[in-house]
Amino acid sequence: MLPHRLARLTLLLLALSSFAGEASAQAVDSAARGAARSLGYEGIQAYQAGDIATAVDRLERAYQVLRVPSLALWSARALEKSGKWVEASERYLEATRLPIEDGNDRSVQEQAQTDARTAEAELRPKIPLLVIEVRGVVAGEVEVSRDGVPLNRALLGSGLPTNPGDVMVLGVSAQARVEMRVTALEGQSTSVVLDFAASAPAAAAPVQPDPPPPPAAQAAPAAAVAATPHDASTGNDGGKGRTQRLLGWSLVGAGGGGLILGAVAGGLAFAEKGRLDELGCADAACPAGTDVSSLNTLRVLSSVGFIAGGVLAASGVTVLLTAPKSTHATVRARVGVAALELEGTF
């Protein structure tokens, strides 16, 4: 095998060394021909060694200097090995169409054209095809690209030769952007539909505002209940969250009412106690006939109001904190002698 490869390599280098006969047609000077021979030699060696990236680079550069069938053939072989089947197919065709000048390498160049014709016929049916269609928008209003390369709109709906592997197809219109990643398989045709109708933004549903918190009376604070921030930014509350928040605010409002009742009853009880003191009551002992039932009733109402109001307010805050939310939520409550102050961010 090795002597056979060396023989073919030597034959090719002899062909490259006789490019002088083509200089008049291509206006290539001796220095350029020498550089092209060196690049071609390096490219073939890299190809034989399995270094396809180097082979593609060297043979491509040599072919750009001297466009002859032999270099076109080897360049196409390197492109095919690298997975660039579409480019390789085109290069094989170029090799078959290049003119051959008279010279002592004519037979080598003719053989290169024959080999290129055979290789192109074998490669063509293996090249994947990509059929791109656009829906939901006028095709003339969409810019389509394939792996970042703009696509002529006239080619939409037709089979596009594509290199095997993953392909990114992007369509951009004035209203939307649609992209799809597909895998092109050897010898197969793959359809890609860019559906702009499906990607159009839906009309936003009206947002139902949360009920506002009840107004809070101002008073000197006696105790504070602080709620730590509750982050539920990754959730979606839906109707359940709104219902739970409504219940929470209702409990907070009821608790505030209870605290206000307790504060008012406590104030009245304090006033009634002062009146009874003026009548001579001392240490729960009052003159005969003195009515102290109103004082006792006000004391009971005050105690019940404070206790019930505190329990309801705390329950409301707990319900608000545990309700599912779609954004960052912070609730702070301050309970005073005659008021409940509550502020929230949802």
- Which range (93-97, 130-134, 285-289, 310-314) has the least confidence? 285-289
Q: pLDDT tens, 243-266?
A: 877 777 787 788 788 778 778 877
Residues recorded for the chain: 346
Confidence of residue 12 (pLDDT cuts 50, 70, 90): low
The predicted model gives 193-220 an average pLDDT of: 61
Cα–Cα distance measured from residue 46 to residue 61, given in angstroms and rounded to the nearest whole number: 14
Confidence of residue 314 (pLDDT cuts 50, 70, 90): confident
Which residues does 93 contact at the CB level (< 8 Å), separation at least 6? 116, 120
Q: At what angle do helices 30-49 and 69-81 cross, to 10 degrees?
A: 30
Cα–Cα distance measured from residue 255 to residue 79, given in angstroms and rounded to the nearest whole number: 79
Is it the case that residue 340 has pLDDT exceeding 90?
no
The predicted model gives 312-334 an average pLDDT of: 66
Tokens of 271: 């006033």
Q: pLDDT tens, 107-158?
A: 889 999 999 999 999 999 999 999 999 888 887 888 999 999 999 988 998 9
The CATH classification of domain 129-199, taken from the options 3.40.190.10, 3.20.20.70, 1.10.260.30, 2.60.40.1120: 2.60.40.1120
Count of beta carbons in the 10 Å neighbourhood of residue 233: 9
Domain with CATH 2.60.40.1120 in the chain: 129-199
The helix/strand/coil state of 343 is strand
pLDDT at 252: 75
- Which range (29-43, 136-150, 211-225) has the least confidence? 211-225
Q: Please answer whether residues 95 and 69 qualify as being in contact, where contact means their C-beta atoms are separated by less than 8 angstroms.
A: yes
- Which range (21-35, 140-154, 174-188, 301-315) has the least confidence? 21-35
The predicted model gives 39-47 an average pLDDT of: 94
Tokens of 189: 């045709």
Q: At what angle do helices 106-123 and 2-17 cross, to 10 degrees?
A: 120
- Which range (29-33, 50-54, 149-153) has the least confidence? 29-33
According to DSSP, residue 83 is labeled T
What stretches of the chain show up as alpha helix (H) in DSSP?
2-17, 23-26, 30-49, 52-65, 69-81, 85-97, 106-123, 196-199, 238-278, 293-322
pLDDT at 256: 80
pLDDT at 214: 61
Q: Please answer whether residues 339 and 259 qualify as being in contact, where contact means their C-beta atoms are separated by less than 8 angstroms.
A: yes
pLDDT at 343: 56
Q: pLDDT tens, 172-185?
A: 988 889 989 999 99
The predicted model gives 99-110 an average pLDDT of: 80
pLDDT at 18: 45
Distances (CA, A) of 10 to 74, 92, 102, 289: 14, 22, 20, 137
Confidence of residue 313 (pLDDT cuts 50, 70, 90): confident
Count of beta carbons in the 10 Å neighbourhood of residue 334: 17
Confidence of residue 21 (pLDDT cuts 50, 70, 90): very low
Most confident of 83-97, 237-251, 266-280: 83-97
Most confident of 101-115, 157-171, 194-208, 233-247: 157-171
Which residues does 192 contact at the CB level (< 8 Å), separation at least 6? 130, 131, 132, 133, 169, 180, 182
The predicted model gives 84-107 an average pLDDT of: 88
Is it the case that residue 43 has pLDDT exceeding 60?
yes
Strand 165-172 relative to strand 177-184: parallel, antiparallel, unpaired? antiparallel
Domain with CATH 1.25.40 in the chain: 2-125
The answer as to CATH 1.25.40 being correct for domain 2-125 is yes
Confidence of residue 186 (pLDDT cuts 50, 70, 90): very high
- Which range (8-12, 243-247, 314-318) has the least confidence? 8-12
How deeply is 201 buried, as exposed, middle or buried, from its count of CB atoms within 10 A (0-12, 13-18, 19+)?
exposed
